[in-house]
């Protein structure tokens, strides 16, 4: 348990979230290895079902990383994403998964340090929460090797 490394699914938008992650890499800024990046065009395309599915399959945390509010490249995508996350978090609490496993971060494309810091912070918080109570599941409910 001491070396528990939270597995994080980071949905990053193509305009700010993803570039900030790339810049963090280019600049060799370290962030936790458990962060798995999924690039999407806009955080507004992330259905609550995507987040739920990630948690169902055993992600310890899910974070949506998009453009700063008012700066979305598709006008209101990030606002929609924030609303959806706000709706989902109480449900996660009700179910015993924990609202703390879902975060949103609104970061500019150039803010590589902020991206790395946000991931570190989330990872530390998830270590506090412990592993996903559902365990890490592979497709079809079979325990997958990590």
Contact set with other proteins (CB under 8 A): 47-50, 52-53, 55-56, 83, 87, 90-91, 93-97, 133-135, 137, 141
Q: Residue 35's closest CA among 22, 44, 47? A: 22
**Least separation, in Å, of the C-beta of 131 and other proteins?**
11
**Least separation, in Å, of the C-beta of 41 and other proteins?**
17
Looking at the Cβ atoms of 96 and 145, the one nearer to other proteins is: 96
**Least separation, in Å, of the C-beta of 91 and other proteins?**
5
Residue 101 CB coordination number (10 Å): 25
62 backbone φψ class: left, alpha, beta (φ>0; ψ -120 to 50): beta
Looking at the Cβ atoms of 27 and 130, the one nearer to other proteins is: 130
**Least separation, in Å, of the C-beta of 73 and other proteins?**
23
Looking at the Cβ atoms of 90 and 121, the one nearer to other proteins is: 90
Q: Which residues contact 78 (CB under 8 A, 6 or more apart)?
A: 13, 42, 43, 44, 66, 67, 68, 69, 71, 72, 106
Looking at the Cβ atoms of 89 and 112, the one nearer to other proteins is: 89
Q: Residue 13's closest CA among 106, 84, 114? A: 106
């Amino acid at each position: 348990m001491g070396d528990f490394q939270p597995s994080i699914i980071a949905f990053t938008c193509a305009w700010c979230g993803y570039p900030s992650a790339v810049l963090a890499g280019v600049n060799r800024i370290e962030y936790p290895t458990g962060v798995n990046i999924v690039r999407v065009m806009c955080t507004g395309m992330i259905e609550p079902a995507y987040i739920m599915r990630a948690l169902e399959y055993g992600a310890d945390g899910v974070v949506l990383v998009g453009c700063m509010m008012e700066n979305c490249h598709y006008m209101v995508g990030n606002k929609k994403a924030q609303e959806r996350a706000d709706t989902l978090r109480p449900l996660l609490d009700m179910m015993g998964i924990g609202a703390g496993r879902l975060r949103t971060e609104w970061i500019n494309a150039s803010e590589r340090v902020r991206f790395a810091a946000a991931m570190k912070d989330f990872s530390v918080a998830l270590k506090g929460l412990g592993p996903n109570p559902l365990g890490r599941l592979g497709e079809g409910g079979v325990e997958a090797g990590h």
